[in-house]
Amino acid sequence: MMQYPSIAGDKLFDVLRLIRTLNVGPVTFFQLMQRFGTASAALDALPDLSLRGGRRSALTACPAEQAEREIKATEKFGARMVLYGAPDYPKLLTALHDAPPVITVSGNAQLWQNRDSIAIVGSRNASANGCQIAQKFARELADSGMIVTSGLARGIDSFAHKGALAAGTVAVIAGGIDNIYPPENAPLYAQIREAGAIISEQPFGSLPYSGSFPGRNRIIAGMSLGTVVVEASPKSGSLITARFALENNREVFAVPGSPLDPRSKGCNQLIRQGASLAESTGDIIQGVSHMRARLFEETNQRRFAFMEHIQTYDDGTLDNARQHVIQKLGVTPVAVDVLIEQCEASAQNVATILLELELAGRLRRSSGGKVSLAEIEDVSEVA
């Protein structure tokens, strides 16, 4: 696991403008912070970096007025923004390489300070038995002192929240903090907001979209010691949450089910692949009992400082490396380490080139730290 330095001392206004800028995702955000030290300095550097990456016109940062409107709307709604590394930011979430630089919280942001979180996720089209199991597990985990975190979706998520509601539960949503999805969960949303907390990394007022659900799932897994999958089809988003958990050295538990029920195929598949079988909450509590000290020790130790200032480099060397990197990239994701090895370039130069390409809108980042071109290019012309 890794952990970036806290950005809690930076200005919320500048941080929000940077992360809300087109083509700036969490990974790019922290790379910019490492290189330039502050969000303000990074904002000033965006136009030149994007042009170096091949953008036809310089990238424009998120307008100041837009950031001001979001901050005011969030405050008026009764929520607040929490910066990465601040005391109210979920500590385990800081270990993600793509942790949200800022989250919006409505409700009790102290909830996760002294309690461990367990994620419970599963099918939207859940069976009656599956919903009953999710609610029972959530209630028992909450009674044992744990926070139950889920995604406020229909089915398993909803019943997990209901089971843990009395002790406080956390819902991570895919839209803005003010956007309740699905709409029929408005009463549950209100209850969680009152007794627990709602979390979002999306802009205030934004609607959920297909790409925001995996982002929500990584937060659910990232702030939890383990993820419990109750029911899931082979293509369920719950399996994405389980994958995020595994990628970040968290435990994955699956509730077994009938091989005749399609909703059990995903869970049975996870068990075949090595997930822990969960027949009771005791299995879950025992399964994560050894993890807390190790995870928190790692998040405390694996810190690294921001680079002091903008790093200097030989433009000739960088330009030559840029040609090789672009030639090696394609639409199929490749590991950054492979690019460094095959291009015989320094890690610093490759990181710089990928940063420029992403700001230009020409790079996509995939799970596992892999990268690919956003579209097929004629590399002979680029080179």
Peptide bond into 182 cis (omega under 30): yes
For residue 114, the model assigns a pLDDT of: 87
For residue 316, the model assigns a pLDDT of: 67
Q: Parallel, antiparallel, or unpaired: how do β-strands 370-373 and 251-254 relate?
A: unpaired
- Is the pLDDT assigned to residue 2 strictly greater than 60? no
Region of poorest pLDDT, from 166-170, 251-255, 260-264, 364-368: 364-368
Region of poorest pLDDT, from 171-175, 229-233, 272-276, 304-308: 304-308
If DSSP codes are grouped into helix, strand and coil, which group holds residue 262? helix
Model pLDDT for residues 158-177, shown as the tens digit of each residue: 999 999 999 999 999 999 99
Q: How far is CA 300 from the centre of its chain?
A: 19
8 A C-beta contact, residue 148 and residue 125: no
Q: Where are the chain's structural domains?
A: 91-300, 315-382
Region 315-382: CATH code: 1.10.10.10
- What residues have CB less than 8 Å from 267, skipping those under 6 apart? 229, 230, 231, 232, 254, 255, 256, 257
- Is the pLDDT assigned to residue 298 strictly greater than 70? no
- Is the pLDDT assigned to residue 5 strictly greater than 70? no
**pTM score of the predicted model:** 0.90
């549950």: which residue's tokens? 188
Burial class (CB in 10 A: 0-12, 13-18, 19+), 327: middle
- Is the pLDDT assigned to residue 312 strictly greater than 50? no
Model pLDDT for residues 206-244, shown as the tens digit of each residue: 999 999 999 999 999 999 999 999 999 988 899 999 999
The mean pLDDT value for 99-105 works out to 97
The mean pLDDT value for 109-123 works out to 94
Residues 338, 376: Cα–Cα separation, whole Å? 20
Query: What DSSP character marks residue 373?
Result: E
8 A C-beta contact, residue 328 and residue 364: no
For residue 94, the model assigns a pLDDT of: 92
Please say whether the structural domain 91-300 has been given the CATH code 3.40.50.450.
yes
- Is the pLDDT assigned to residue 305 strictly greater than 80? no
- What are all long-range contacts of 292-297, with beta carbons under 8 Å and residues at least 24 apart? 292/116, 292/225, 295/1, 295/92, 295/95, 295/225, 295/249, 295/250, 296/91, 296/92
Residues 74, 106: Cα–Cα separation, whole Å? 9
Neighbour-count burial for 42-61, b at 16+ CB within 10 Å, e otherwise = bbeebbebbbbbbbeeebeb
Backbone phi, psi, residue 255, to 5°: -90, 120
Kindly state the tokens that stand for 382: 């680029």
Kindly state the tokens that stand for 372: 């690919």
Model pLDDT for residues 334-350, shown as the tens digit of each residue: 999 999 899 888 888 89
Task: Enumerate the β-bridge partners of residue 3.
Answer: 303
- Is the pLDDT assigned to residue 113 strictly greater than 60? yes
